[in-house]
Amino acid sequence: MKIIDNYFIDSDFKKITNIFGSSVCPWYYAKGIVDWDENNELDNYFFCHMVYEQLRPVSNYFYDLIKIIEPKSLGIITRIKCNMYPRTAKVNVHPWHTDSTTHKLRGALLMLNTCDGFTGFKDGTKVNSVANRMVLFDSSEEHHSTSTSNASVRMTLNINYV
């Protein structure tokens, strides 16, 4: 695992946040953050914007985004997805999950805003949500997201690559 602050130059990071912070960017309701839990249905949702999956663009923002991401040479990108977790009264820790079951797939998680939310890993590592902080990790490693209690949303950009 590697944590890198100020991953993108300011102008490129601003382009990314302008895309997903725009009032015209479509966000899609996802019922169940990892799995649906009827006992926690009030806080068990988020919004997402899929940019790239199954080796094809699925968002009009793909071409603008890939111009910024590709020069960082992460590898062959297999998925790009932006997540938006609404504010909750207290920071809710979401269930453990993996992005993949194979060690070949890597994860890159970019924090798009600063808030009291974080991403936790099974080894005890806690990566705080600090704008323009990137965490690179093995996508088969269990991790969890959280909500935020001190910002209107917590936003992350999840990139999977080989």
Read off the pLDDT of residues 50-60 as tens digits, 9 standing for 90 and up.
Answer: 999 988 999 99
CA distances from 54 to 78, 95, 117, 130 (A): 6, 25, 29, 29
* pLDDT tops 80 at residue 41: no
Tokens for 66, please give them: 């890939």
Pairing of strands 45-53, 28-31: antiparallel
pLDDT, position 39: 53
What's the gap between Cα 161 and its chain centre? 14
* pLDDT tops 60 at residue 23: yes
**Confidence band (pLDDT; 50, 70, 90) for 45?**
confident
Can you tell me the distance from the alpha carbon of 24 to that of 20, in angstroms, rounded to the nearest whole number? 9
pLDDT, position 40: 61
134-142: average pLDDT? 93
User: Smallest Cα–Cα separation from 161: which of 101, 80, 98?
Assistant: 80
Q: Considering only residues 44 and 83, tell me which one the structure prediction assigns the higher pLDDT.
A: 83
User: Mean pLDDT in the chain?
Assistant: 92
* pLDDT tops 60 at residue 37: no
* pLDDT tops 70 at residue 155: yes
DSSP secondary structure of 47-95: EEEEEEETTEE-STTHHHHHHHHGGG---SEEEEEEEEEEB-SSPPBPP
* pLDDT tops 70 at residue 109: yes
Can you tell me the distance from the alpha carbon of 89 to that of 56, in angstroms, rounded to the nearest whole number? 38
pLDDT, position 96: 87
* pLDDT tops 70 at residue 36: no
